[in-house]
Amino acid sequence: MSDLKKVSEFVYEIEKKGEMKVPARLYADDKLITKMKEDLTMKQAENVACLSGIEGYSFVMPDGHQGYGFPIGGVAAMELENGIISPGGVGYDINCGVRLLKSNLVHDDVLDKRKEIIDSIFKNVPSGLGSQGKIRLSRNDLDEVLMVGAKWAVEEDYGWKEDLKFIESEGSMEGDPTKVSNNAKKRGMPQLGSLGSGNHFLEMQVIDKIYDEKTSEVFGLREGQICFMIHTGSRGCGHQICSDYIQTMEGAHKRYNLKIPDRELVCAPINSKEGEDYFKAMSAAANFAWANRQMITHWVRESISKIFREDSEDLGLDILYDVAHNIAKFEKHNGKKYCVHRKGATRAFWKGRNELPKDYQDFGQPVIVPGDMGTASYVMCGVKSSSQTFGSTCHGSGRVLSRSAATKRYRGEDIIKKLEKENIYVKAASPKVVAEEAPDVYKDIHNVVDVCNNAGLAKKVAKLRPIGVAKG
């Protein structure tokens, strides 16, 4: 693309042109930008820059790749007065997110038990395509989940009260069940407390490198420590809410005379009935996801506690943090309120932000960046310079191969054997999903994280490597 300019070592820009209201800014190095050129990432970034009320730039994080409407890794802050809200700027898996549990265990404690631990977690946490949870909800229960999120799960004894303060937004936004269709509720009701499939996973990991001693000490992380990572979202409930409101917005954007360069960017004014209804329904799906991860946390704790014959509290199975990916939130930046869309991007707030738990106020928000099966994951920390992206950074490594292309190139059984040779035990619902999520179908996570670190979007704190994986 001739109009793509390199403005610094890790920043590229597409200048404002045509209907674009702001420039597009992509965070990448030469290797990552080459990958972005291979699909529609840049075109989608341009398209987002055309949306009403967008402020600053249309951003793409280093893990960016083509998505629905917005690129995955896309960030856009909208002014409240004349800005829009778009389901394509949030995505189908609303509040797909990551939670990291710490422990007092070290590598030697689990070395001979890793298969037993992963098998137990796999048995206790329902996973796989169409997987259903172990509990049966009434319609009233589900409405409560959609209203209050993780708080419902804790009140039902799926976790500890102190868990809530280590969840983004304390695990709850102002969801309104009346804005959620019966179809979305029907899909969600049997799935609460389940992992699902695709790139969702549960991993047992060991910290093998600390980059920032001071911050890692505050976060309670140390070399050799065992952690457990949970990656899942709002399941069929969130997917249906997105589908429902895409249909609603198709009529709305015409009624409000909103120009969009791509029908996948259907939207409505933030202050319109359609915009407000979508935000309340999206918040309800976010609550479902937080309750879902909370229940899974409970069953992970139960599994580990049973194997080691110790209480979860004594094992130190505390939440480091829980971050949301696909979400829109009202936030104040530079004294002004915006609706910030983060599609496949993570909030990365810096020290002093009052949204953070008191434990992290003087350091910044933990940012959890998951890898996949054979690759590393990272804990990072929000820094003040991320204010340039409205406090946003990457959410993972980003795919380079579609699932169908991956299954043509890889056999799940071969991947499982290869990982076992690397001392990574994989327990999966099917070999097909292992092939779809083979480590090589993703960008190099070290590359992505280094760009985030060097571009000032978040700083590296610790690197974790997987030793056991439960895959949906």
Write the DSSP string, 69-118.
Answer: SSPEEEEEEEETTT-EE-GGGT-SSTT-EEEEE--S-BHHHHTTTHHHHH
CB 265 within 8 A of CB 69: yes
| Cα angle, residue 370 at apex, residues 210 and 93 outer, rounded to 5° | 155
C-alpha distances in Å from residue 103, one per residue of 109, 315, 370, 436: 11, 6, 18, 30
In this structure, which amino acid lies at residue 20?
A: M
Query: Could you tell me if 47 and 262 are in contact, meaning their C-beta atoms sit under 8 angstroms apart?
Result: yes
Count Cβ atoms within 10 A of the Cβ of residue 12 and give its class: 0-12 exposed, 13-18 middle, 19 or more buried: buried
| Percentage helix, strand, coil for the chain under 3-state DSSP, each rounded to 5 | 40, 25, 35
One-letter amino acid for residue 114 of the chain: R
The active-site residue, picked from 65, 253, 325, 395, is 395
Looking up tokens 């990552």, which residue turns up? 32
Known active-site residue 395:
yes
DSSP three-state, residue 233: coil
Closest C-alpha among 441, 341, 468 to residue 84: 341
CA proximity to 37, closest of 66, 17, 13, 8: 66
Q: How far, CA to CA in Å, does 63 sit from each of 400, 443, 449?
A: 10, 7, 9
Give catalytic residue positions: 395
